Amino acid sequence: MVLELCGDWLRDGATPEIQGESGDQAPSRYVTDKLGAFDSTLPAFILSQLRSIEKPTLGAAQWKPSLEGLPPNLLGLMELALAVPEQSDATQKPADSSELTKLGKGSIEVWVSVLAVAEFTGQSVLALGRFVTGGARFRARDFWMIVQECGAQALPIVSLISFLIGLIMAFVGNVQLASFGASLYVADLVGIAMVREMGVVMTAIIMSGRTGAAFAAHLGSMKANEEIDALRTFGFDPFDFLVLPRLLALVLMMPLLTLYANCVGILGGMLVGAAVGIPPVLFWNETLTAVTLTTSLLGVFKSVFFGAVIAMSGCLQGMHAGNSSAAVGQATTRAVVTSITAIIVLDSAFAAIFTVLDI
């Protein structure tokens, strides 16, 4: 069998035309009199043709096809290519289009995620128990540094968002209430909405995108650099040393940030009230009348659970991240999406519970 090669074989050139049948055996020699310029396209074509041929059963490992007639430069490339055995997983496999298989794989992934969340939650509870009994070990300096990152350094963005939320609610409320001559009740609207829902929810979303993502990125980078394995080697529990201080810091700071956000949001509503003719003193007195102690404590109560969810989501994704920079980015994205979703679900559950309890 003879294989004749003609014309140019270039990656950016015309597609080669194949005439004749390759048969079931390798060419015994090649004719290259009319062969022009070529690049890696030609040796790749020849190699694919040779590997598609069924090798003899006896002596398959020592089987070598004939390369007679190839020019010296192409002959050297082919000898190097044939010297390396083909990996079994190197060929591209066709995608599985079975819907049942996709459903099964998706169900397995969901189940694995549920187990990971359950395991991480149990480890968090055990770590809190060790902390209460004095058995947890972590550096106090790291804890206070995380408290500063979660608390004082988050005040500017919390102030801006809460102030604007208070402004928006006061503007929207005044447009509707002014039609009934009840502009004063803008204070009730802003006060109750901020302390009961908007203050804690907006603060939690801000902390999810700011602090939860930072937790995931930090722990993911440590895992990629094998620093977490180094902690285990030195006898430290990575959960106590890395996750516990972040969990405690965010649970401690979220109620304080929520109270601060409530005050700033009411201040923003008061500014709008002053602009539409409601004196600040009257606005404040109406707010104190509408907002009871029970109502004001509902948001603070929810903030504790929101802080725990944000910290656990960020740390969970960071501890389970892959060992590459791309995996760290994916873990950060998953941490933000997971924490925000969990916050909305929890807030809905709390709203239903408070409605049933008539709070």
Residues 210-252: tens digit of each pLDDT: 899 999 999 988 888 888 888 888 888 888 888 889 999 999 9
> What are the φ/ψ torsions at residue 37 (nearest 5 degrees)?
-75, 150
Q: Please tell me what DSSP assigns to residue 117.
A: H
> In sequence order, what DSSP letters do the residues of 166-215 get, joined into one string?
HHHHHHHHHHHHGGGT-GGGHHHHHHHHIIIIIHHHHHHHHHIIIIIHHH
pLDDT at residue number 304: 93
Helix (H, G, I), strand (E, B) or coil at 29: strand
User: In the chain, where does DSSP find H-type helix?
Assistant: 41-51, 72-83, 99-132, 140-150, 155-177, 186-193, 199-207, 213-224, 227-233, 238, 244-275, 280-290, 293-319, 325-356
Do 326 and 253 lie in a common domain? yes
Note the pLDDT of residue 248: 92
Assess contact for 39 and 11: CB atoms under 8 A.
Answer: yes
Q: Quote the pLDDT of residue 58.
A: 44
Would you say residue 89 lies in a domain? no
**Same domain assignment for residues 45 and 113:** no
Which range has the top average pLDDT, 177-191, 246-260, 318-332? 246-260
95 assigned to some structural domain: no
pLDDT band at 98 (very low <50, low <70, confident <90, very high): confident
Residue type, 130: R
Question: What domain count does the chain have?
Answer: 2
pLDDT digits (tens, 9 = 90+) for 64-94: 777 777 888 777 777 777 776 656 555 555 5
188 touches 255 (CB < 8 A) = no
Confidence of residue 176 (pLDDT cuts 50, 70, 90): confident
Mean pLDDT of 96-114: 83
Domain housing 162: 106-356
pLDDT at 340: 93
Same domain, 125 and 8: no
Tell me the C-alpha distance between 177 and 156, whole Å. 31
Q: In terms of domains, do 153 and 282 share one?
A: yes
Rounded to whole angstroms, the Cα distance separating 267 from 206 reads: 19
Average pLDDT of the residues in 32-44? 80
